[in-house]
Structure 1
């Protein structure tokens, strides 16, 4: 009786293996004709772009999106250094006003603001940086 069960099982295995296996993933047909892609606005795009997307595409493909008149040559920056407190944007003709009590550069503040223990490097830290971490001393 035990032998009959094992022979049935032995016959069922080739039958199961002979069945066609259909993978659960399907791949697109490479030879099938492809639909033409029509560009469209993203669903989350602002309404002014999505309402007139063709105009947006024309403007976008027209070239640089900045005003070339506001660009200043680098050589002229070297000849005319910025005035004290004038930012990079100010050197391009666009006035950049800082809020009252703010500075653009940390080192323009009094020494007590930028010369703090957390910003100072000790010799062990400098050695660790210069050797790429292969120094023998330990930074505290």
Structure 2
């Protein structure tokens, strides 16, 4: 007979981890604020930082959304991300060889 099975038969497994309750999303909106451990000079100027950050984000968004600008009869188009540009601008100039890929993936160990 197996005495360990007999002694464990009456034992009910109780997990060691306990969860506090049902997950719910936060009810209110998040208002940005300085970190509680931030130095006082940073915390006092945090509102100025937010204003500058929001104005720069608006400038970038406006520049990205402008479809075209003409300059000297040549139309210029700005792209927020490189993949939005035509593929001729972001395709690699040459094919990468398998030896180069192996060298990068192995940290140079395949070169020896």
- The structure carrying a bigger strand percent of its residues is 2
**TM-score scaled by structure 1?**
0.30
Of the two, which has the highest radius of gyration?
1
